[in-house]
Amino acid sequence: MKKPADMKQYPMEQAVDAVIIGTGAGGSPLLWKLATAGRSVVALEAGQWFEDPVSDFPTDELESPIYWKDERISGGADPTSFGANNSGKGVGGSMIHWGAYAPRPSAENLKLQSTDGVAVDWPMSLEDLKPTYEWLESFLGVSGPAQYPWDAERKYPLPPLPLNSSAIYMSVGCEALGIRVAHAPIAAVSQAYTRPEYGTRNGCVNRGYCHQGCRNGAKATMDVTFLPAALKAGAEIRSDSYVHGVERDSSGAITAVVYTDANGREQRQRCRAVFLCAGGVESPRQLLHWGIGNSSDQVGRNFMAHISTQVWATMKSETRPYKGFPASLITEDFLRAKDRPYAGGYLLQSYGILPVAWAEQVAAGRNLVGQALTDYLMQYNNVAGIGMHGDTLPNPENRVTLSDEKDQHGLAKPLVTFSLGKNENTMSDHAEDRMRRILMAAGGTDLWSSKRTAHTAGTCRMGTSAADSVVDPYGRSWDVPNLWIADNSVFPTSLAVNPALTIMALSLRTADKYLAN
C-alpha cells in the first residue's frame, strides 16, 4: 500500500478523538469505522510501511521482513514460539502474514461453561456476532463452498479456491471414513473482486507464499482492505512508532500516548480516547508497563495458544506441497465429536508447507540425524499433511509478565509462561489418531506427528464483572474510562477456530459502542 502524499496529518498538540495502537485485525477495522464516522483518529504502528509488495514480500522464507522479531522470553512446560508462527510487524500488523483461514466459531464454542462445564462463557452469543461475520465475509471477499455442511444458511460471496495436494488426499481419506469436508472459507478472492470502500483486488494466483505476504492483493490483508479505506476517510497512520507510555489526568483518564518515532525521538500525541490493539502479548505488556487497568489482577493471565498438532505422511505421487493455497480444505465434524473424552472441540484442515518450514519441523519432530535425515528431507515433494486447531482452556497461571531484561527501547521484555493441561493433551491425542486414520485411508505411509501451538489469545479477557475481567463485553476498560482494547487478548476462551475473523468482528463491535456513546 503506497503511503498517500496527501494523508491527513494531525498536530501533536491537538487532542485527536482517538489514538489506535496497532494496525492489525483489531486496529484496522476500528481506524476505518471511526474515520468514516468523522472522528479525528491516529494509528500508531511499531513496524514499517510496506509500499511495494513485489520487493517487500519476496518469495523467500528467510528474507521476509514482516514478522515481529523482538525477543519474547517463552517458558513453561510447553513454550510457544513467536515470530513467523503468530506475530507480525508493519502497517497491517500480523494480518500481513496470516493464512486467511476464516471459519466462524460454533455457538457452543462461545459457551464452554454452559455446554461443557469448563472455563467461562463469552458475554455474547453467536447470534450477536452473526451479522458482523456476514458483513465481514462480504467486505473481505471470502471464497468458500456453495454449500457449507455445518451451516446450511451460510453463503460466501465468491467461489472456492482450488484444492492443493494435501487437501485432495485429505478429501479422499475423509470420504473413505465418512467424515464430511468442504472447501475452506478463505479470505482471499478467487477472482477479481470490487468493493466501493477500497476498489478492485485481483484473484489469487496460487503462489503459495501466503505467509510471506501477498503480492497481488488477493489475500484480505488490512493494507488492501480497511487501511486504504480509512486513509481515504481522513485517518492518519504513523509507522515506525513504538509506544511506551501514556499520560493521565487527575481523574485517571488518558490524555496522551507517548512513543518513539522513526528517528528515535520521543513524541506525545494528545487524545481523548485510546484503543489498545497490539495483540495477545504486547497489549498486556503495555498495560503492565503503564501500571494501569489491572484492578482485577487479570492483565496477562489466561494466555492461550491453539493446540495445532499436525500429522504428515508420504504419498506415492508427487504432491509439491509449496503449490497452491496452504490450507484449502476443512472439516468441522470434530467441533463437537460424539463420545469425546475432553471438553471443547477442534477443526481439521489440510496443510501445504514451504521447504524451510518443513525442514525445521522434521528436524524438531522426527529424531533423525545424518544420512537418515537427509534421505527423509528429499521426500519433501511427496508429503501431505493435516493439522488441527483446538480449544485451549484458560488457566490463570499461563500468563504474560514483565521479565528483568530490557529491550532496545528500554521496556521490560515480555515473559510468556505456557503449559498445556490434561484436556489439551487428550484432545491432541484424539485429533492425531483421526488425522492418522485419514492419511492412511488416502494411501499415506511413514506417518509422524508434529506437536505445536499457534495464535495467541486471552490476556486481557472481557467479561461482565470488573472483579474477574479486564474489559467489559465491548472492550472498554473497567478501570480507565477512555481506554478500550480490541484484539485477541480480550478472548475469554481461545475458540477452536482461527481467530482473525472474530477479532475483526469484535473490533467493529467496539467501534459501534464507542460511537454510540
Dihedral through CA 506, CA 507, CA 511, CA 513, nearest 10?
Answer: 20
Residues in a beta bridge with 454: 306
Q: Tell me the average pLDDT across 457-473.
A: 98
For the chain, give the percent of residues with pLDDT over 70.
100
- The string of pLDDT tens digits covering residues 133-164 is 999 999 999 999 999 999 999 999 999 999 99
Q: State the average pLDDT over residues 351-372.
A: 93
Q: Could you give the CA distance from residue 168 to residue 295 in angstroms, rounded to a whole number?
A: 51
- b/e for 473-510, b at 16 or more Cβ within 10 A? bbbbbbbbebbbbbbbbbbbbbbbbbbbbbbbbbbbbb
Give Cβ neighbours of residue 189 (< 8 Å, ≥ 6 apart): 141, 143, 158, 201, 202, 203, 204, 218, 220
pLDDT in tens, 175-187: 999 999 999 999 9
- Determine which helix (DSSP H) or strand (DSSP E) holds 428, and give its type and residue range: helix 422-441
Q: Give how far Cα 38 sits from Cα of 16, 227, 469, Å.
A: 11, 15, 31
- 116/201 Cα distance (integer angstroms): 42
Q: Which cell numbers in the block locate residue 334?
A: 470434530
pLDDT at 85: 67
b/e 383-409 (16+ beta carbons within 10 angstroms → b):
bbbbbbbbbbbbbeebbbbbbeeebee
Phi, psi (rounded to 5 degrees) for 512 = -60, -40
Any residues with CB less than 8 A from the CB of 84 and at least 6 apart, and which? 64, 67, 97, 211
Q: What is the pLDDT of residues 378-418, one digit of tens each?
A: 999 999 999 999 999 999 999 999 999 999 889 999 999 99
Nearest to 223, CA basis, from 40, 57, 413, 355: 57
Sign of CA dihedral 294, 486, 411, 16: negative
User: pLDDT above 90 covers what percent of the chain?
Assistant: 92
- What is the model's pTM? 0.97
Q: Give the tens place of pLDDT for each residue, 243-269.
A: 999 999 999 999 999 999 999 999 999
Cell numbers for 125, please give them. 452469543
**250: number of Cβ within 10 Å:** 5
Provide mean pLDDT across the span 353-365.
93
The number of residues in the chain equals 517
Separation between Cα atoms, residue 424 and residue 435, nearest integer Å: 16
Q: What is the DSSP letter of 149?
A: T
| 400: CB partners within 8 A, 6+ apart | 280, 281, 284, 285, 288, 300, 303, 414, 415, 416, 459
Q: Please provide residue 450's backbone torsions phi and psi, each rounded to the nearest 5 degrees.
A: -120, 115
Supply the pLDDT for residue 71: 86
Which cell goes with 261? 518515532
Query: Residue 155: which of 176, 175, 133 has the closest Cα?
Result: 133
Are 417 and 399 spatial neighbours (Cβ–Cβ below 8 Å)? yes
Whether residue 433 contacts residue 314, with contact meaning beta carbons closer than 8 Å, is answered with: no
Query: According to the model, what pLDDT value does residue 398 have?
Result: 98
Average pLDDT over residues 191-215: 95
- Alpha helices, DSSP H, located in 242-391: 279-290, 355-365, 370-377
pLDDT category, 69, cuts 50, 70, 90? confident
Region 331-353: what's the mean pLDDT? Answer: 95
**What 3-state DSSP class applies to 313?**
strand
* pLDDT (tens digit per residue) in 486-495: 999 999 999 9
Nearest residue to 389 via CA among 422, 346, 357: 346
C-alpha 487/C-alpha 281 separation (Å) is 10
Q: What angle do helix axes 165-177 and 422-441 make, rounded to 10 degrees?
A: 90
- What is the tens place of the pLDDT at every residue in 9-32? 999 999 999 999 999 999 999 999
